[in-house]
Amino acid sequence: MSIVRFRLSKTLASEQESTQQRERVPQSEGHATWHVRSAEDALRDLGSTRSGLSASAATEKLRTLGPNELEETSGNGLGRIFWEQASSSMILILLVAGVLALIFKGGSGFPVDAVAIFAIVVLFVVLGTLQEYRAQKAIAALKQMSMPSVRVMRDGTPTTVPSRELVPGDVMLLEAGHTVPADGRLLEVQSLRVQESALTGESEPVEKKVEALSDPSLGVGDRINMVFLGSAVTFGRAKVLVVETGQRTELGRIATLIQAVKKSKTPLQKKLDKLGKALGLLALAIAMAVAFIGVFIEGQSWSSVLVLAISIAVAVVPEGLPAVLTFTLALGAQRMLKRKALVRKLPAVETLGSVTTICSDKTGTLTQNHMTVTRVMDASGQVLDASFLAPERTLAPGPSVVLQAFTLCTDVERDSGKLIGDPTEIALVEAAEKAGFLKLNLVGSAPRVAEHPFDSDRKLMTTVHDLDSARSAGTTMPVSQHTAWLETVSDHRHVAITKGAMEQVLSRCRTAFLEGRVVSLDQGMKAAMVRQAELWADGGERVLAVAARGLSQPALEQAGASWEDDLSFIGLCAMIDPPRPEARAAVATCRKAGVRVVMITGDHPATAKAIALDLGVCDRHDEAVTGADLSTLDEGALRGIVESTKVYARVSPEQKLRIVAALQANGHIVAMTGDGVNDAPALRKADIGVAMGTGTDVAKEAADIVLLDDNFATIVAAIEEGRVVYDNLRRFLMFSLSGNVAKVILVVVSPLVGLKAMLTPIQILFSNLLTDGLLGLGMGLEKAEKDTMSRPPFKPDESVFARGVGLHIVLVGPMLGAALMILGFFLWPKDQTPESLTLWGTTLFTALAFTQVARAFSARSFSRSVLSTGVTGNKALLAMVAVAIVLQVVSVTFAPVLPFFETTALSWERLGLCAGMALVLLALMEAVKAVFAPKRTPSKEVFS
């Protein structure tokens, strides 16, 4: 079996199809109706024959219609991306602040704060630009999905041509291992099976046939007389008429869908834009107030007042926010990588924390993407749970015979230790090997001498085995390996083993192999088999039956169809792509966290419902909504349906896109998982696109996050990390803005009450550098609180100041400012000489710095006390605190820098006073937290 591998790509094809392409098929019929035409009609419409086109006709079509490749349109240029990043409100405010801080830098010497602001701006803009530029790569992968060459009929002779030279009317020759290079209508098939999971989401290869279909509205997965660009032939061979190339293929249509999808800003980006504008206006108002007070109340000159006003304006804006944001997102991305989630776009880290709905693919994400035998039943009705299979266990004769019979009737081979073949047959062989029955040994004792291959009409496969080898091997091989039981089924030289759909096998049986003998198969036994098969099928499992009969030499020489009559029933097996063991707990965690899980799959509704029920995604009363159901709904009705539907089956790419859009229109933040090309439009449309690591590169390029282990539980872990990131950003805002409020009070209010401005411009800027820079970065490393995944997600329109943050700023900021004002009154010098005023200002400057350190410890939790969180829980913050204290002490004790900071040397007694003040304020901050912090309650489970 070949596996489709897709290379990197850019995004996307043109929304407009060329006039030349439209002319290929009459517009009244449309390109999606090839499956309802007969093979001969399709050939006639395209001016071709079963012998293919002539070389000259193919050349002319290629000149007229263009090559078989997807059109490429350029995305935003690098300059435009850079401008979009640099023109956000916060960045513009910081640029203005940086310029003003550089011009009016207060004091003398190196403009530390201005340089720090510019460095932050550059870092944020450059990282954002690089991330966005990398996200614009998707059509090259789509273009690389076709084979470099293909076998076609030209002038009646098979020849090899580059796949880009295929034109409508060409007749392709495909066989197992080939990737389909264009959309085609089947002309001839020999047991053809095609893996279309990249386009449809179906986990099983699709059995193909030639006959025309009657329903023109069938989806891609149900057009079984067609093959499509990007799918893979896993079994058999076929002669195929090329009907669509390039942009008009199903793959090209998906590329157009991706092109049409525009990514919106993340919730945090929207909130920060609003915050930046509000803080900008506030900073301007405060700067004007400071200038007015300085000139008209204190009688200072405009030049000196302007420096102070700019400094206060800068103090209002948390210029450390972009750095903390980038730093926190990067650290969150690193933590996610350790948990097997690769973040391609940094803003996605935060958006994950706001996710309200996860639209998850089934195959490989919620399930193991590996067909597995679950149960085996012999003709007597004895059921064996396949999970208990082991070589050391002694099996009853009935189930052991069923396993051996199924294994003999497969085309699975072992290559370099790996089983190669159809996924269903691999599951059968694996189950037998778990019981100790190796196919190599079984075939060695009963070699295959003939076969009647599977086809979709009969739904059967038959292999014929030589019993002479089995009779001789039975005397020399271990009982667990020999096939002597076949002698009971056949007294001839050969035995035919048939497997397939239960109803087809059972209808051809006259006897049953029961307890080592062949007995008559009565209606009661048949009814029991049917009931059991229906029970398993209702549970989403696939049911196969196996039977056998003896063949005489004359019968062996007859046509293969006769080998499948008068069979002896042996048993049944049930199989399924089982749920991942950890997925059930992950779904439960989502419910607890207020995140709704929705399954969207291309699989059969019964299978989807069974898996969803097993995982806890839905209840028994919930019904799966199919793509056919969705096609009848307008947008208004769909918005109503998506609020209650938990399972979607047989959906198309457009319908996945519609589901995501409807959820977003209802106010949900949607994470969408997928691995195929068909998932790419919805991945790009979703707030968070999550691609599987083993999926197509087209899906990965359209996604924000790639799961390296294809595990749904990893999404839940990533959501937790996203919530931690958002919490840390809110902590920083709470910490920074409350401190900024205190600084504004110290500078603006103190002159109004008879004191001088307590802080100089350079002291304000240095304080910002310590708090918004060092301490802020340390807060970005805070770990998750205990209730992180037991509370509801933030709503898209919920402010960053919600859930107590704004209230805390309003209460703590003025409290800190007032307390420091009281200290200022207490220490106000009576003589008011320049030296005494400098000592007074230096003391308050240091008290503010120590208070900010205490504030950082208090802000580590929104609700728990500092005694509960401890002071060593965040070692990075502890290190930043140490650095901040050292720098602050140096600024007020180290003689060479005292003039720069406009400070004087403080005694140890004064430093102790400042530290004591900080501890008193820490106690007050903790009291405010205990009284006013919102009491968090677990979120309601989203599972109506």
Residue 146: per-residue pLDDT = 36
Residue 483: per-residue pLDDT = 63
Which of 113, 361, 675, 679 does the annotation list as catalytic?
361
Q: Is residue 580 scored above 50 in pLDDT? A: yes
Backbone angles phi and psi of 888, in degrees to 5: -65, -45
Measured distance CA(413)–CA(91) in Å, rounded: 61
What single-letter amino acid sits at 573?
C
Element (H, E) at 721: helix 712-752
pLDDT in tens, 306-325: 666 766 666 676 756 666 67
Beta-carbon count within 10 A of 264 CB: 11
Q: What is the mean pLDDT of the chain?
A: 80
Measured distance CA(868)–CA(77) in Å, rounded: 51
**DSSP per-residue codes, 628-645:** HHHTT--HHHHHHHTTT-
3-state secondary structure at position 2: coil
**DSSP per-residue codes, 821-855:** HHHHHHH--SS--HHHHHHHHHHHHHHHHHHHHHH
Active site residue 183: no
Residue 777: per-residue pLDDT = 78
Three-state SS string over 880-917 comes to HHHHHHHHHHHHHHCHHHHHHHCCCCCCHHHHHHHHHH
Nearest CA to 881 out of 905, 856, 901 is that of 856
Which residue is it, tokens 């003003």? Answer: 100
DSSP state of 312: H
Model confidence at 8, pLDDT cuts 50, 70, 90, reads: very low
- Summarize the confidence of residues 105-125 as an average pLDDT: 63
Residue 681: per-residue pLDDT = 78
Is there a contact between 669 and 354 (Cβ–Cβ < 8 Å)?
yes
pLDDT in tens, 177-212: 677 889 999 999 988 888 887 677 665 788 899 999
Backbone angles phi and psi of 671, in degrees to 5: -105, 130
Model confidence at 479, pLDDT cuts 50, 70, 90, reads: very low
Q: Is residue 163 scored above 70 in pLDDT? A: yes
Is there a contact between 574 and 771 (Cβ–Cβ < 8 Å)?
no
Residue 782: per-residue pLDDT = 86
pLDDT in tens, 819-878: 999 999 999 998 889 899 999 999 999 999 999 999 999 988 888 888 888 777 888 889
Using alpha carbons only, how large is the chain's radius of gyration in Å?
Answer: 36
Distance of CA 759 to the CA centre of its chain: 50
**DSSP per-residue codes, 639-700:** HHHTTT--EEES--HHHHHHHHHHHHHTT--EEEEE-SGGGHHHHHHSSEEEEETTS-HHHH
Residue 29: per-residue pLDDT = 40
DSSP state of 788: T
Instruction: Classify residue 572 as exposed, middle or buried by CB count within 10 Å of its CB (0-12, 13-18, 19+).
Output: buried
Three-state SS string over 737-784 comes to HHHHHHHHHHHHHHHHCCCCCCCCHHHHHHHHHHHHHHHHHHHCCCCC
Model confidence at 7, pLDDT cuts 50, 70, 90, reads: very low
Residue 480: per-residue pLDDT = 40
Give the best-scoring range by mean pLDDT among 46-60, 193-207, 356-370: 46-60
pLDDT in tens, 874-885: 888 899 999 999
Is there a contact between 20 and 66 (Cβ–Cβ < 8 Å)?
yes
Model confidence at 469, pLDDT cuts 50, 70, 90, reads: low
- Summarize the confidence of residues 503-523 as an average pLDDT: 91
Query: Pseudo-torsion of CA 479, 482, 485, 486, nearest 10°?
Result: 180
Structure tokens at 115: 């340089």
Query: Pseudo-torsion of CA 56, 62, 67, 71, nearest 10°?
Result: 180
User: Which segments of 135-248 does DSSP mark as H helices, in order?
Assistant: 139-143, 197-200
Residues 6+ positions from 798 with CB-CB distance below 8 Å? none
Residue scoring higher pLDDT (626 or 219): 626
Greatest Cα pair distance in the chain: 126
**Helix, strand, coil in percent for the chain, rounding step 5:** 50, 15, 35
* CA dihedral sign of residues 684, 685, 691, 696: negative
pLDDT in tens, 57-72: 999 999 998 888 876 5
Share of the chain above pLDDT 90, in %: 31
Q: Is residue 700 scored above 70 in pLDDT? A: yes
Is there a contact between 34 and 226 (Cβ–Cβ < 8 Å)?
yes
Measured distance CA(823)–CA(595) in Å, rounded: 49
Model confidence at 938, pLDDT cuts 50, 70, 90, reads: very low
pLDDT in tens, 533-556: 988 988 888 899 999 998 888 888
**DSSP per-residue codes, 61-105:** HHHHH--SS--------HHHHHHHHHTSHHHHHHHHHHHHHHHS-
Residue 265: per-residue pLDDT = 60
Q: Is residue 330 scored above 80 in pLDDT? A: no
- Summarize the confidence of residues 514-527 as an average pLDDT: 89
Measured distance CA(330)–CA(602) in Å, rounded: 35
Least confident stretch, 420-429, 460-469, 477-486: 477-486
Ramachandran class of 95: left when φ > 0, alpha when ψ lies in -120 to 50, beta otherwise: alpha
Backbone angles phi and psi of 450, in degrees to 5: -160, 165
Instruction: Classify residue 786 as exposed, middle or buried by CB count within 10 Å of its CB (0-12, 13-18, 19+).
Output: exposed
Q: Is residue 643 scored above 50 in pLDDT? A: yes
- Summarize the confidence of residues 331-348 as an average pLDDT: 80
Q: Please measure the distance between the N-terminal and C-terminal CA atoms of the chain and give it in whole angstroms.
A: 42
Please state whether the predicted TM-score (pTM) of the whole model is above 0.75.
no
Nearest CA to 641 out of 621, 620, 626, 619 is that of 626
Q: Is residue 806 scored above 50 in pLDDT? A: yes
pLDDT in tens, 256-269: 776 665 555 666 66
Residue scoring higher pLDDT (684 or 5): 684
Residue 202: per-residue pLDDT = 67
Residue 13: per-residue pLDDT = 30
Q: Is residue 393 scored above 80 in pLDDT? A: no
Structure tokens at 498: 């048939």
Q: Is residue 144 scored above 70 in pLDDT? A: no
3-state secondary structure at position 154: strand
Is there a contact between 425 and 546 (Cβ–Cβ < 8 Å)?
no
